[in-house]
Amino acid sequence: MDKLRINGGRPLYGSIPVSGAKNAALPLLAATLLAPGTYILHNVPNLRDTRTMLKLLQIMGAVWERDGSTVKVNTTTLTGAEAPYDLVKTMRASVLVLGPLLGRTGTARVSLPGGCAIGARPIDYHLLGFQALGVVSAMTGGYVEARVQSELTGGMICFDIPSVTATENVLMAAVKAKGTTVIQNAAKEPEVGNLIDMLEAMGARIEGKDSDCLTVHGVQELHPAEISIIPDRIEAGSYLIAAGAAGGSLEVTNCEPAHLAALIEKLRAAGMEMTVQGNRCTAFCPVDSQGIPCPLRAVNITTMPYPGFPTDLQAQFMALMTRSSGVSIIHETIFENRFMHVAELRRLGAEIAIDGGSAVVTGISRERLIGAPVMATDLRASASLVIAGLAASGTTEISRIYHLERGYENMAEKLRHVGAAIEQVPD
């Protein structure tokens, strides 16, 4: 297993192109199961998670090929409707095949995802949503077995909390249901919007895109489509934060700045200069003659569903706040156990206390942030360790980087290109 070695304390200058969004690519790939034929998806990032989803489609009989970032998927013949434990345990988003399989074949068997590093993460909303459409589900041998009882029929669903993948899963079944489905308190994340665009291109009828109430008028037939995956706002945001941590001037290209509004506002509040032009966004944080970035103001954040501050950028923002000149309170409201990175950041000298769902970060001077060996615990926690490693002086070695490979395309290469001293070495 490889690890990442970072020699920190170097400002970042240059431009990084953003890849397609992992969290959009996964539901859009799953949606190819809905109707037979050949789909063309552009801007698909080549990540461990997208490869896992393609493997899952293949197990079910799909045939696919990749040419650069374009993936062609043919789902004419389905030979199975089961997502096995071996794949689901590596990627809980595998549950996204439930909705399209129910929509196409009326039955699906998916291993129940277990807990994960960031919390219990149940799938009860998904199952309650399907139930409203006439699906019965049972748990046997660690698998959810779901079956359309007589006919998939439109229904009323109101989620307790707006869940991204539950909204997507229920949408993918509802587009084939007889009659109208209303999903209230639906997730408004741009990735849900990307899925709606694809479903509409396939012939689905959906009202309310980008709102928390979606109305789906079921259709009998859908057809394949060609679509582009939206830019990854979490990848873009991670690099903008890195520019603040290490200092310098970093532009991210091929991004959608409107999707980054909550982060850009917080980076400005911290004292960084942020400019937005078309699909480019630049973060500027001046450095002194020794390359030491100027101090940042402490800023509080509270993670919220979109358009609020994304939980997927909480760990990275915390790494940035370790070198602020005050006390920052970071309140996590989406996942109950998303502070796994705190213990690792402390190994670099960060002063962070946890108080229930909040982390209290007392900023320290950049000189006191010193590289150390650390361990990645989940995808976004890993990105926060990379950011802290870029800011710290000396060498930081991050082990278990397979977490990073799940969601960041060529991260080390992209960062090297803007001046970071980062390399992948055997552990």
The set of catalytic residues is 116
Binds ligand UD1 by CB under 6 A, chosen from 12, 164, 342, 359: 164
Per-residue binder mask for ligand UD1 (CB under 6 A), 126-145, x = binder:
x-------------------
Task: State the nearest-atom distance from the C-beta of 95 to ligand UD1, in Å.
Answer: 8
CA max distance for the chain: 72
Label residues 82-111 b or e (16+ Cβ within 10 Å = b).
bbebebbeebbbbbbbbbbbbbbebebbbb
Binds ligand UD1 by CB under 6 A, chosen from 80, 114, 115, 122: 122
Binds ligand UD1 by CB under 6 A, chosen from 57, 166, 206, 404: 166
Cβ atoms < 10 Å from Cβ of 309: 24
Q: Which amino acid is at 6?
A: I
Task: State the nearest-atom distance from the C-beta of 205 to ligand UD1, in Å.
Answer: 24
> How many residues sit close enough to ligand UD1 to count as binding (CB under 6 A)?
21
CA distance 416 to 300: 30
Q: Could you identify the residue written with the tokens 């998904």?
A: 126
Check binding of 192 to ligand UD1 (CB under 6 A).
no
- 287 or 340, CB closer to ligand UD1? 340
Task: State the nearest-atom distance from the C-beta of 116 to ligand UD1, in Å.
Answer: 9
Task: State the nearest-atom distance from the C-beta of 123 to ligand UD1, in Å.
Answer: 5
Contacts of 176 (CB under 8 A, 6+ apart): 34, 103, 104, 152, 218, 219, 220, 222
- 323 or 406, CB closer to ligand UD1? 406
CA distance 385 to 383: 5
Stretch that binds ligand UD1, among 56-64, 137-145, 156-164, 240-248 (CB under 6 A): 156-164
| Phi, psi of 262, rounded to the nearest 5 degrees | -65, -40
Which of the residues 290 through 319 are near ligand UD1 (CB under 6 A)?
311-312
CA distance 202 to 169: 16
Per-residue binder mask for ligand UD1 (CB under 6 A), 74-93, x = binder:
-------------------x
Binds ligand UD1 by CB under 6 A, chosen from 28, 75, 100, 125: 125
Instruction: List the one residue out of 239, 219, 369 whose CA is nearest residue 293.
Output: 369
- 119 or 286, CB closer to ligand UD1? 119
Name the packing angle between helices 314-321 and 379-391 (round to 10°): 20
In the complex, which residues of this chain contact ligand UD1 (CB under 6 A)?
23, 26, 93, 119, 121-126, 161, 163-166, 187, 191, 311-312, 334-335
